[in-house]
Structure 1
Amino acid sequence: MTPEELSAVIVACLQDAVSAGDITVDVPATVKVERPKNRDHGDWATNIALQLGKRAGMNPRDFAGALAERLTAQEGIESVDIAGPGFINITLAAGAAGQLARTIVEAGAAFGTNDTLRGETVNMEFVSANPTGPLHIGHTRWAALGDAIARLLRASGATLTTEYYINDAGSQMNTFAASVYARLHGHDVPEGGYPGQYVQDLADSIVAEHPEVRDLSEADALPVLREHAYRLQLADIETTLDDFGVDFDVWFSETELHTSGAIGTAVDRLREQGHILDQDDAVWLRTTDFGDDKDRVLIRANGEPTYFAADAAYYLSKKDRGFDRKIYLLGADHHGYVGRLKAIAACAGDDPEKNIEILIGQLISVNGAKLSKRAGNIIELKDLIEWLGKDALRYSLARFPADSPMAIDPELLRSRSNDNPVYYVQYAHARSRNASRTAEAHEITRELFDFDATTLTHDTESALLAHLGEFPSIVAMAASMREPHRVARHLEVIAGAYHSWYAACRIIPLQGEQPGPVNVARLWLNDATSQVLANGLALLGVDAPEKM
């Protein structure tokens, strides 16, 4: 019995009590059940009597008693105890608890998916680095977390589009082209330019394919270099992200906002909403009406749009494309964007507390990481992948909340020890797969005997089953809170419970003994653990190795 199934049983008992006139209260659609801190208190606990007792005009313990009487009679529930002011502790029958192993194996990759976010249409933008250089350590955290959040949202039923906003308009692109032009002719880059070796490499690549560009005047060469360098650098970004296991559904060009007239249209629409102010020959958006610290210029006095105007047009583009919720994942230096982006949403007629969500990630550091000679004074993402490995890097970034600064210990992540969290979890999966192969070699298969869940009675089996049963609710919570670290930490709990069970319970009988139903049931439990570990690692974008 999963926690979700137990919740449904409790709801049914509540409805029965209401129908019988024993309780008068509105019955919720779901009831939250949790693992008691002390296992002696049962397998699961709920405080529903404390929540509803007062509404029903009853003492919570009396309310709990009316519910407990009905729960005790349900198939799969061994006992129900009332504790303290009205907590209900539930102990499942061994067969009901053990049946979860079969449920998981038969569900396969679908176990853990849920529909808590079904009906939500979401656009999530993350990374969005300028296409003027390689991805570096500053982009790494959001690449890992953003992709993990995306996987969680989809696993929870949301209709999601991931998006990379290409900042390919503005002065930085002109500076980029000027830097390539300087390297093309053997000169130092201009002040404020891009000094990395990659700029020389771009110049060499462009000349190799278009030798005629060397003979063009600077005025004629710059637009050509800008376009070719941009395409090459964007391709490098895409390749690096692909190596990191991150793919985007949409690559949205800022330039298109300018060339399509979207910015002018956005200003007109915001004017219709009544939030435009014309002052000092400029066009302003009155974002202070919605909590921003100052009004923002959309169109400068010289007629040029600001970056903020592009932000507004981009938000309206997302709205027009049917995304009810827009999630922005921004770096630690973007705190000032929160108020202004929410103000754009409000000016556009949206609810800034519902239709837009802005997550700010804190900085990370890697002890001992070397600055890239190719890229200049930065640490490249591709170097981190080569050094630490995709799995170790992604897992370590996923297991901490985004709003906490963190330092990565390379020696730990490269170690093959239980102190290394990603190794600990991946090893548990590899160990479970090896156990399954060994069982098969001894002719113990899941088909050898009918599955008998009542044989899974060892304390380590009860603990492991309980942790496996929590997985779907952990996934749902991690999705709703945008916190992949909840999945990572729970996988570590499962890995620990599995290692304890593996040491205490044998799948293969001792020499001279014949296999029986308990050995087959343990194989089911072993394979269920494999499945949950694989499903959880997949949500983090981390491989589940068959062997280690």
Structure 2
Amino acid sequence: MTPAQLSTTIVAGLTALVEQGALTLPDGVPAEVTVERPRQKGHGDYATNVALQLAKKAGTNPRALGELLAEQLRAADGIAGVEVAGPGFLNISVETGAQGQVAAEIVAAGDSYGHTETLAGQRINVEFISANPTGPLHLGHTRWAVLGDAIGRVLSAAGAEVTREFYINDRGVQMNHFATSIIAAATGQPTPTDGYAGAYIEDLARAVGEAQPGIFDLPEPERLTAVRAKGYELQLAEQQAQLDAFQTHFDVWFSEQSLHESGSVPETLQRLKDLGHVYEEGGALWMRTTDFGDDKDRVLIKSDGELTYFASDTAYYLNKRARGFDHCIYLLGADHHGYVGRLKAMAACVGDDPEKTLDVLIGQLVKILRDGEELRLSKRAGTIVTLQELSEEIGVDALRYSLARYPADSPLTLDVAEITRASNDNPVYYVQYAHARTCRMIENATALGMALPADGAFDPSLLDHERDGALLRALAEFPRVVASAAELREPHRVARYLEAASSVFNKWYDTKECRMLPQGDEPVRPANEARLVLTVATRTVLANGLRLLGVSAPERM
């Protein structure tokens, strides 16, 4: 019995009490009830505080409501016992067979186990990298690549329709600086003021010349325009290839310049004027964001007639909403704290409720240590540590998992030696090794002629050891963890769950009474077959969880 199934049983019990007239709930019976694993051993398989939550509305005390509900649940299928503890907590024990059936359900669900319909019907846009196409992606981009991709994966698993979007900052003077830097490298000139330096510029200059022979001999301004376009094309293609190799895939690569070329920005400004949220002062055009909680109003057009980034941001948000997205999620860097208030105020200015349509996640910086020394980043100085270099040195799996297992808003320091160590002290190794162990166990079972029942039928009551129950309860938690990770935009919950589940599995594996394989000349018994189902269920959960983080599930290590 999974927590979701037990929630359904509890809701049915509450409904029966209402229909019997034994309970009055003015707001109606809740659609679902929170069910958790108790923290202390001996407090049953699951616990709920639903009696404490509903007692006041029902006009009774929690303990009395708990006793009423407990009586209903004791008669329900799959429930072995219910204890009312403290002020009204319900500690619930389930029958061994009902608990063991979870393993069969997991195996039957396969890759879809853990998926829910929690966010079904929602169209969500996740914008999680915003970068100039002027150089390689660096460590900051790497963290957002991991977190944004994992957020997209858990949202999809929770039933949402998700679009992953990369915002290309291809408008502004930096594109000209980029082009002049390439030209300088190609013609043997020093790097221009405000230009880009480093080996990648020299490589790019060669690639531009090879792709379009004679480009550097063109007259100005034709040369600048041509080099800018070709350099942009090649550098963006490199970013796309690096992200694909990093298991981060975008559905949309959106050009900032396209907003201006399409006329979206003037249309946005006119809409704001029509809504009465802009005014002129000092020769500039302002958005009155203070009406919606911002600390100051924001400039849209400077006094010299130049559009601000905020004008583009507003047009971009409206573009997303016009494309049919119910909710827009932004992942922004640590230096963007001030953007939270202004983006929410902007959404309100255009007529939206930002609490329903907008999420802004601010990430903190990451430090990478090698031999105790921090790797320094500086794109313009050419000493940048790139996503590609990090992936090659650390490995895609180790890097992704290490970045995914922490909340976005936590500062992070990673040591190369620690996150690449083949040791149980290394979380990614620990989880991947647990998955590889299940694969080896299944291979050994196959060699002995053991196989899963063709019709999925086995005796779940044979999974009666305490360690069997602990592992089953851990596996049953997975859908709830995924739904919570999606709802809170916190994929690190999946990583921490996998580590805890791997620990429970390893303890089960080390328990001789729970051996899956027969020993010596022993025949294969029904209990061995039942534990084969449990092993396959464990493999399924570990693989599905790693997939949500974009990390591989190796069969051998």
TM-score (norm 2): 0.96
Q: Which moved more, 1:219-228 or 1:535-544?
A: 219-228
**CA separation in 2, counterparts of 1:203 and 1:115?**
50
SS in 2 for 1:54: helix
Structure 1 counterpart SS, 2:413: strand
> Corresponding residue for 2:540?
531
Q: What does the per-residue CA deviation read over 1:56-106, in whole Å, with 9 as the maximum and x for residues that have no partner?
A: 122211111111111111111111111111111100110011110000000
1:457-482 deviations in Å (ceiling 9; x for gaps): 11111111111011100000010001
Residue 20 of structure 2 corresponds to which residue in structure 1?
A: 20
Aligned: 1:459 with 2:466 = yes
* 1:439-478 superposed matches below 5 A: 439-447=445-453, 450-478=457-485
Contact 1:197–1:373 under 8 Å retained in 2:
no
CA offsets per residue over residues 458-510 of structure 1, 9 Å max, x none?
11111111110111000000100011111000000111111111111211112
- 1:36-185 equivalence runs, <5 A: 36-185=38-187
**Structural mapping, 1:417-496, within 5 Å:** 417-447=423-453, 450-496=457-503
Higher alpha-carbon deviation: 192-201 or 214-223: 214-223
User: For residues 372 and 71 of structure 1, do their structure 2 counterparts lie closer, same or farther at Cα, with a shift above 3 Å needed?
Assistant: closer
Q: Is the 8 A contact 2:329 2:359 kept in 1?
A: yes
Aligned counterparts of 1:302 and 1:24: Cα–Cα separation in 2: 67
Counterpart in the other structure of 1:265: 267
SS of the aligned residue for 1:353 comes to helix
Q: Deviation digits for residues 236-293 of structure 1, max 9, x if unmatched? A: 1001100110111111111111111111111001111111112233222111211222
Shift in Å, 1:452: 0.6
Q: Does 1:512 align with 2:521?
A: yes
Residue in 2 aligned with 1:210? Answer: 212
Give the drift of 1:372. Answer: 8.2
1:377, CA displacement in angstroms?
2.1
Q: In the alignment, what sits opposite 1:221?
A: 223
Partner of 2:288: 286
Is the CA contact (8 Å cut-off) linking 2:259 and 2:265 kept in structure 1? yes
Q: Over residues 403-457 of structure 1, what are the superposed CA-to-partner deviations in whole Å (9 max), with x where a residue is unaligned?
A: 0001112112211110010010000001001100100101111239941110111
SS at 1:126 equivalent: strand
- The partner residue of 1:541 within 528, 531, 550 is 550
Pairing partner for 1:253 from 255, 262, 271: 255
Aligned position for 2:416: 410
Write the distance in 2 (CA, Å) between the matches of 1:312 and 1:70. Answer: 54
Offset, 1:371: 5.6
Q: Structure 1 runs of 4+ off > 6 angstroms?
A: 372-375
Aligned to 2:387: 381
Q: Which amino acid aligns with 1:296?
A: R
Output one character per residue of 1:281-328: Cα deviation in whole Å (capped at 9) or x when no partner: 322211121122222221223333221111111111111111121111
Q: Which amino acid aligns with 1:70?
A: Q
Q: Deviations over 1:325-378 (max 9, x none)?
A: 111100111112112211210111011222111000000011116568998122
2:177/2:195 contact within 8 Å kept: yes
CA distance in 1, matches of 2:234, 2:477: 46
Return the alpha-carbon distance in structure 2 between the equivalents of residues 17 and 292 of structure 1.
49
Q: Who is 2:11 aligned against?
A: 11
Q: Distance in 1 between matches of 2:480 and 2:458?
A: 26
Q: Which amino acid aligns with 1:95?
A: G
Residue aligned with 1:284, SS: strand
Offset, 1:20: 0.9
Distance, in Å, in 2 between the alignment partners of 1:74 and 1:41 is 19
Tell me how far apart the structure 2 counterparts of residues 209 and 177 of structure 1 sit (CA, whole Å): 15
Paired residues of 1:196 and 1:373 also in contact (CA < 8 A) = no
Counterparts of 1:179-198 in structure 2 under 5 Å? 179-198=181-200
Aligned to 1:390: 396
The match for 2:504 is 497
Report which stretch shifted further, 361-370 or 445-454: 445-454
Equivalent position of 1:346 in the other structure: 348
Secondary structure at 2:330 match in 1: strand
- Secondary structure, aligned partner of 2:129: coil
SS in 1 for 2:65: helix
CA distance in 2, matches of 1:495, 1:3: 19
For 2:65, the aligned partner's letter is F
Mapped partners of 1:196, 1:305: distance in 2: 31
CA contact (8 A) 1:136 1:381 kept: yes
What RMSD, in angstroms, separates the aligned Cα atoms of the two structures?
1.5
Task: Tell me if structure 1 keeps the 8 A contact 2:119–2:158.
Answer: yes
Residue 299 of structure 1: aligned partner: 301
Superposed CA deviations along residues 130-174 of structure 1, whole A, max 9, x for unmatched, are: 111100111111100000000000000111111111111101111
Counterpart-to-counterpart distance in 1, 2:171 and 2:378 = 27
Letter of the 2:368 partner, please give it. V
* Mapped partners of 1:343, 1:32: distance in 2: 34
Amino acid at match of 1:486: R
Measured in 2, the distance between the counterparts of 1:447 and 1:82 equals: 39
Q: Which runs of 5+ in 1 are unaligned?
A: none
Give the AA of the match of 1:143.
A
Change over 3 Å in CA distance of 1:58–1:391 after alignment to 2: same
Q: Is the 8 A contact 2:14 2:69 kept in 1?
A: yes
Q: Secondary structure at the residue paired with 1:183?
A: helix
Cα distance between partner residues in 2 of 1:540 and 1:419: 19
Residues 450 and 517 of structure 1 are in contact (CA less than 8 Å); yes or no, is this contact kept in structure 2? Answer: no
Question: Residue 81 of structure 2 aligns to a residue in which SS?
Answer: strand
Q: Determine if contact 2:79/2:94 at 8 Å carries over to the other structure.
A: yes
